[in-house]
Amino acid sequence: RRVGNPSSMALDPETVCRVALGLMFLGAVCIGLPHRQRADRAGGRVSIRADPAWFWILMGLVGPPVTLVCVAFLIQPRWVDFASIAAPPWLRLTGAPAGLAGLALFGWMFRHLGLNVTSTSMPRGNATLVTTGPYRWIRHPMYSAVLILLAAASLLTANAVVVIGGFPIFALLAARSHLEEQRLVEKFGDAYRTYQSRTGRFLPRLTRRR
C-alpha cells in the first residue's frame, strides 16, 4: 500500500491563516450588511456628515492601507512580504479563534441593537436605549468587536501595516465614541447617565461609578 509523504499531507499554516482571514471578512460582511440595510430601510439612512469631517478624512488615510494589505495577503502573501513580521506559526494561528470570538460578539451585538444601528455617531430619531445582550456590560460592543477583529487580522497576517494601522483605526473609533455618548445623553438624558454609571465603554466595568 502506498503511503503519502507526511510533510505533504500537513496543512500549511500560511494557508490556514489565509482561509481564516477570508472567512473572518466574509462573516463580518454577512453579519453586518443585512442588519444595516434593514435598519436603513426601516428608519432611513443617516448621513455620514453627522460625524466630524476629521473622522472620515483620517479613517480614509489609515483604513485603505490595512484593507489592501489584507486583500493582498489573501490573494498572494508574497506581495506584502516587505512588511512581514517574523512570528511563530502557533502564535499566528491564535488569530483564528480570536476572529471567531470577534464575529460572535459582532453578531450578538447586532441581534440586540436591531434597527437602532447606524454607521455614524448620530442615533436615529426613533432609537431606543438598548441595555440587553452585550450592552448589559459594555456601551460600545461594536467597537470592542472591531478591536478583536483587528487583533485577529494582525495575528493572521503577521504584517506590520496591519498591526500598526490597527491602532489609529481603533483610536479614531474611541474618539468618536465620546461624541456618540454626548448625543445619547442629549437623547435619553438621565437614563443614559445611569446606564453609563454601571457599564464600561469597551470592557465591563469592575466598580460602579458614582
pLDDT given for residue 10 in this prediction: 59
Work out the pLDDT band at 201, boundaries 50, 70, 90. Answer: very high
pLDDT given for residue 3 in this prediction: 44
Query: Quick one: DSSP state of residue 124?
Result: P
Amino acid letter, residue 76 = Q
Work out the pLDDT band at 209, boundaries 50, 70, 90. Answer: low
Q: How far is CA 182 from the centre of its chain?
A: 22
- Which has the closest alpha carbon to 61: 176, 181, 178, 164? 164
Q: Report the chain's mean pLDDT, rounded to a whole number.
A: 92
pLDDT digits (tens, 9 = 90+) for 29-60: 999 999 999 999 988 888 999 999 999 999 99
Task: Using the predicted structure, report yes or no on whether residue 6 has a pLDDT greater than 60.
Answer: no
Facing residues of 159 across strands?
84
Angle at 184 between CA 180 and CA 188, to 5 degrees: 180
pLDDT digits (tens, 9 = 90+) for 118-171: 999 999 988 999 999 999 999 999 999 999 999 999 999 999 999 999 999 999
Work out the pLDDT band at 2, boundaries 50, 70, 90. Answer: very low
Task: Using the predicted structure, report yes or no on whether residue 206 has a pLDDT greater than 80.
Answer: no
pLDDT given for residue 11 in this prediction: 76
The three three-digit cell numbers of residue 98, written as one number: 480570536
Going by C-beta distance under 8 Å and a sequence separation of 6 or more, which residues neighbour residue 61? none
pTM above the 0.85 mark?
Answer: yes
The three three-digit cell numbers of residue 62, written as one number: 489609515
